Amino acid sequence: MRTKIIFSSIVTFSFVWIMMSCSNAENPHNKKTTKASKPDTTIHFPQEKHLANIKQLTAAGDNAEAYFSFNDSMIVFQATVPKWGSQCDQIYYFPFSDGDMLTRPPKILSNGVGRTTCSFFLPGDTTVLYASTRSGGDDCPPLPEKRADGKYVWPIYSDFDIYVADLDGNLLDTLISGPGYDAEATVSPQGDKIVFTSLRSGDLELYTCDIDGSNIKQITNQLGYDGGAFFSPDGKMLVFRASRPKTDEEIKVYKDLLAQGLVMPTNMEIYLCNVDGSNLRQVTHLGKANWAPFFHPSGKKIIFSSNHAGHRGYEFNLYMVNLDGTGLEKITYDPVFDAFPMFSYDGKKLIFSSNRNNGGTHNTNLFIADWVE
């Protein structure tokens, strides 16, 4: 939902949605960061030893949640870029053979209707799924009003359903719909299953279904927000972000906000489970906001975004950790924001969103790099 997907008052709390890794909100750093006195012109920080040949793909607006096609030749992503005509997050795709989005705009798939999020290629690379509020109208839905307490919330739009479109933007199918929020869908590397987040049970839980939207099964069932899930390379596990309110006060706040169609994602950790929901376990215990997870090509590690080491709440970097939570390693070093990582299917590339090299603006752009073990 970010994952890509309405962040506000980010400096007032210790988090970052999605975004969401499929985030349903815009990048938080577009709203409240202070313009740098010296424009940032850094594309590659010297400490980033796992990244080589970093290339910037976009140069304006808010670009996030870029995911590779199965053959690694294209990406699909969400963006709010006024010069492309988008007033809120829309879905775009771009074949690398087209050259450079810095000079050639990508093609819009969502037709400027409603707010969209969480796009992902389907097997065959000729169709894409994404979530949209189009059933509630053509206009962008309103953002939550600024809270008196200054705390940051994500909207959980009840009109979000999951659709399928071809690469010309023609809407082919309503894949998943129902009462309340359905979004944050991703596809298994084997192309047989989809995982998504839904409010259909009354709480934000993970569900899986077959590639045609049939055979829906609930995967998680603990109170709290479960979202932004991805399959392991072998399709046997799921990694996702989750909040787990524990105290009476935390539970009340969570339930009251959910009744208003809101989530406060200030405390999330990374979780793993088998694709059927068994063997659920918490991977990180870092505090603050840990989100946008994705499996390393080996299936033995997880890359994710976290602000646990930041001092101002909005300092997010990419980290990597073993499945048992050991071996935490910092991957990126931008002082403001790095998130939404995805490895290419061949394991050779990493694509991510970052505030680096934005000339002192609030722009969040897409970057691609060769991965170095």
Query: In this predicted model, which residue has the larger pLDDT, 20 or 187?
Result: 187
Q: What is the pLDDT of residue 369?
A: 98
d(CA 300, CA 329): 14
- Residues near 210 by beta carbon (within 8 Å), at least 6 away in sequence: 192, 193, 194
Measured at the CA of 264, the angle between CA 240 and CA 248, to 5 degrees, comes to: 100
Token readout for 248 is 């009476």
Is the Cα dihedral 98, 101, 104, 106 positive or negative? positive
Token readout for 329 is 């390693």
d(CA 229, CA 166): 23
Q: What is the pLDDT of residue 15?
A: 32
pLDDT for 88 beyond 80: yes
d(CA 118, CA 353): 14
The whole-number average pLDDT for the span 135-149 is: 91
Token readout for 76 is 């699909």
Domain 10-371: which CATH number of 3.40.630.30, 3.40.1480.10, 2.120.10.30, 3.40.640.10: 2.120.10.30
Mean pLDDT of the chain: 90
pLDDT for 137 beyond 80: yes
Is the Cα dihedral 311, 352, 63, 234 positive or negative? negative
Q: Alpha helix (H) ranges present in 15-90?
A: 29-32
pLDDT for 9 beyond 70: no
The rounded percent of the chain whose pLDDT value lies above 70 is 90
What are the boundaries of each domain within the chain?
A: 10-371
List, edge to edge, every strand of the sheet that includes 74-80. Answer: 62-68, 74-80, 90-95, 107-108
Q: Which segment of 24-38, 84-98, 147-161, 321-335 scores lowest on mean pLDDT?
A: 24-38
Q: What is the pLDDT of residue 23?
A: 54
Q: What is the pLDDT of residue 28?
A: 43
Q: What is the pLDDT of residue 38?
A: 66
pLDDT for 19 beyond 90: no
Beta-sheet pairing, 171-176 with 161-166? antiparallel
Residue type, 301: K
- What backbone torsions phi and psi does residue 256 show, to the nearest 5 degrees? -65, -45
> What are the DSSP E strand ranges found in 27-145?
51-56, 62-68, 74-80, 90-95, 107-108, 116-121, 127-132
pLDDT for 270 beyond 80: yes
Token readout for 345 is 């299917």
Q: What is the pLDDT of residue 100?
A: 85
The rounded percent of the chain whose pLDDT value lies above 90 is 82
d(CA 71, CA 55): 20
The whole-number average pLDDT for the span 336-354 is: 98
The whole-number average pLDDT for the span 225-242 is: 98
Q: Which has the closest alpha carbon to 167: 128, 134, 131?
A: 128
- Residues near 287 by beta carbon (within 8 Å), at least 6 away in sequence: 14, 267, 308
Most confident of 29-38, 120-129, 359-368: 120-129
pLDDT for 274 beyond 80: yes
Secondary structure (3-state) at 191: coil
Q: Which has the closest alpha carbon to 132: 184, 75, 209?
A: 184
Q: Are 80 and 89 in contact (CB under 8 A)?
A: yes
pTM of the model: 0.92
